[in-house]
Chains A and B, each alone.
Chain A
């Protein structure tokens, strides 16, 4: 069994008293897409930044292809960064406004000293075309492009070094619906083309449905549900997941919809109660506190294990 491309073990981040990310476990298998969903403030973006070592974790482990990169220095981190890259949400502020697109996409090659300048220029052309932009765009500036085109440039920059693991932090959230589809398609094509493992952070479940193999749901820094994508959409067990699903916009005005409007406290009050017989594995602790338990079909949910469940 090969090691997952990216794995986070009990990763925790505190800001003073506030715990933004609380003992999160997740693993992205090779060539798979794991979506990390939740509302604003759930800690999903922070988790993504922790995985990239752009923020330092308070505790926990980060493993890239089995290598522990949790605490190594930034200099030692540099070679690993060729494998692990990022695409941000705001395409405008993630590209240096004073640099041409060619320079932006070529910067990774420069930083890592890959190839001669002529070779670097060629690679830039190759990648611009791979993301669907004509090579002559290399002389343009970010402000001359649309949001979708800028995201393509961001993807090219992220992958030009041959990264195999991509952390995408809400890459489609700032885009129009039709453009979202293009970017999602691009990512899928590239995944098929070069083999890409992705941690896809998003609050948009409709995008997640087309792209992800597994969905991890976060609430207030904790993982409350984790399951393969279709199970999440058909058999979600946690009330928060239900709330997220119900909030997805639906085109058909006549479709019957259940709308759940719950505050986080109400959600906390409705933590599912499960009988030990529902589980496929022993719960990790005997306490009556909510904990992540295993259900059938690689489905994990935060629940209270009690003999008195219905």
Chain B
């Protein structure tokens, strides 16, 4: 029969190393992922360029100052050339970053504002509320987002705010699903039961336990919502019902560039490249963050 008595234990002392929170480990994993880190840096550069647009450009985006040089190819004076209406193309591209990124970020913020509380409550409360939320998400999944966005854009006649809201309408469900899954997986964990046993109110549990443990889906959901919104905006602008001229938007510039593509390659290449690079960087960053937060996910 195993005996179970030992001498009284001496007080255990921790080793003298720095405190390591779970977020610290996530950061380490992220920085080890070279592709994601590079993507993050690229995106940061683009964002900075957009913010400091007036500083790095010499003219306004709509100033038609170079009409006599219209459609000129890239040169020392005009890094990206001149467009068909005599505007410096580099300036247009940089201000286009403002529009496209601005729409992307705003739409992502709105997606978060709707998706986070719905997802957290649906995950925590379950039952009827969860059922309703899931049915609504199903509705949104059946309608092809782009086509519905086209319809909505025509109803609202385009414009920046309409696009932001439309992108949010189709972006919230991803954030909601991510948060809901996370909250559901944590709801059954014993530290939640322990908090309940301590007499914590549901609000305390959601605010102090569930949301801090949901940092991963919140950040990942936000970052991944940006390229989705940007794609939607670019697609709509490309078709002419997004951002209206003369406000520069990459999607719109690609549409125009198509007409000149055969002879004036710069009109198509630069907006295409800009859009592609930004969306790629944001997507890689989002994927990298997701892997950093949850290394147990398969597929890597």
A77 — which chain B residues lie within 8 A by C-beta?
199
**In the assembly, what is the distance between CA of A154 and CA of B194, in Å?**
9
Whether A181 touches B6, Cβ cut-off 8 Å, given contacts A134-B13, A134-B14, A140-B14, is yes
- Give residues of chain A (126-148) contacting chain B, Cβ–Cβ below 8 Å: 129, 132-134, 136-137, 139-141, 143-144
Bound form: Cα–Cα A61–B205 in Å: 28
Of A90, A111, A157, A180, the residue contacting B199 (CB under 8 A) is A111
Within 8 A of B (CB), among A49-100: 49, 52, 54, 74, 77-78, 81-82, 85-86, 88-90, 93-100
Task: Kindly provide the distance from the CB of A250 to the nearest chain B CB, expressed in whole angstroms.
Answer: 6
Residues of A within 8 Å of B68, CB to CB, are none
B-side contacts of A137, CB under 8 Å: 12, 14
Other-chain contact of A210, B4, B196, B213 (Cβ < 8 Å): B4
A251 and B20 in contact, given A54-B196, A93-B190 (Cβ under 8 angstroms): no
CB <8 Å contact, B20 and A97: no
How far is it, in angstroms, between the C-alpha of A148 and the C-alpha of B1 when the chains are bound? 22
Report A186 CB to chain B, min CB distance, Å.
8
* Contact present for B6 and A94 (CB under 8 Å): no
The reply to whether B5 and A94 form a contact with Cβ atoms under 8 Å apart is no
Using known A-B contacts A52-B197, A97-B22, determine if residue A251 contacts B1 with beta carbons closer than 8 Å.
yes
CB distance from B14 to the nearest CB of A (A): 5
Contact A81/B197 with A134-B13, A134-B14 known, Cβ cut-off 8 Å: yes
B2 to A251, Cβ gap below 8 A? yes
Partner of A134, one of B12, B191, B200: B12
In the assembled complex, how far is the CB of residue B137 from the closest CB belonging to chain A, in whole angstroms? 27
- Asked if B184 is an interface residue, CB under 8 A from chain A, the answer is no
- CB contact under 8 A between A98 and B204, given known A86-B197, A108-B198: no
A93 touches B196 (CB 8 A): no
Q: When the two chains form their complex, are residues B199 and A136 in contact, meaning their CB atoms are under 8 A apart?
A: no
Chain B residues near A96 (CB, 8 Å)?
Answer: 191, 195, 209, 212-213
- For the complex formed, measure the closest distance between the CB of B233 and the CB atoms of chain A, giving whole angstroms: 35
Closest CB in chain B relative to A284 CB, distance in Å: 33
* Contact residues in A for B2 (Cβ distance below 8 Å): 177, 206, 249, 251
Smallest Cβ distance from A50 to chain B, in angstroms? Answer: 12
- Let me know if A54 and B199 touch, CB within 8 A: no
B193 at the A interface (CB under 8 A) = yes
Given known pairs A54-B196, A181-B4, the reply for A94 and B191 (CB within 8 Å) is: yes
Known A111-B200, A139-B19; contact A94-B194, beta-carbon cutoff 8 A: yes
> Within 8 Å CB of A295, what residues of B?
none
Asked whether, in the complex, the Cβ of A98 is within 8 Å of the Cβ of B4, the reply is no
Residues 205-256 (chain B) with a chain A CB within 8 angstroms = 208-209, 212-213, 215
Is there a chain A Cβ closer than 8 Å to B297's Cβ?
no
Bound complex: CA A107 to CA B209 (Å): 11
Q: How far is the CB of B201 from chain A (nearest CB, A)?
A: 8
Let me know if B189 is at the binding interface, CB within 8 A. Answer: yes
Classify chain B's interface size.
20 to 34
Size bracket, chain A contacts: 35 or more
Q: A112 near B: Cβ within 8 Å?
A: yes
Task: State whether A98 touches B8 (Cβ < 8 A).
Answer: no
User: B residues within 8 A CB of A185?
Assistant: 5-6, 8-9
Contacts of A85 in B (CB 8 A): 197-198
B7 to chain A, nearest CB (A): 9
Instruction: Say whether B12 contacts A206, CB under 8 Å.
Output: no
When chains A and B are docked, how far (Å) is the Cα of A140 from the Cα of B18? 9
**Known contacts A94-B191, A111-B198: does B19 contact A184 (CB below 8 Å)?**
no
Task: Using known A-B contacts A93-B191, A96-B191, A111-B200, determine if residue A250 contacts B6 with beta carbons closer than 8 Å.
Answer: no
With a cutoff of 8 Å between Cβ atoms, the chain B residues found around residue A230 in the complex are none
| C-alpha spacing A207/B197, complex, angstroms | 25
A207 CB contact (under 8 Å) in B4, B6, B10: B4
Does chain B have a CB within 8 A of A31?
no
Residue B75 CB within 8 A of the other chain: no
The answer to whether A136 and B209 touch (CB under 8 A), given A81-B199, A157-B194, A181-B4, is: no
Q: A189 contacts the other chain (Cβ, under 8 Å)?
A: yes
- A-B contacts, 28 of them at CB < 8 A, read A54-B197, A81-B197, A81-B198, A86-B193, A94-B191, A94-B194, A95-B194, A96-B209, A97-B191, A98-B212, A98-B215, A100-B19, A107-B200, A111-B204, A132-B11, A134-B11, A134-B14, A140-B14, A141-B21, A149-B12, A180-B4, A181-B6, A185-B8, A185-B9, A206-B1, A206-B4, A210-B4, A251-B2
Chain B interface residues (CB < 8 Å from chain A): 1-2, 4-6, 8-14, 19-23, 189-191, 193-200, 204, 208-209, 212-213, 215
| In the A-B complex, the 8 residue pairs with the closest CB atoms | A94-B190, A78-B199, A81-B199, A88-B190, A134-B13, A181-B4, A96-B191, A93-B189
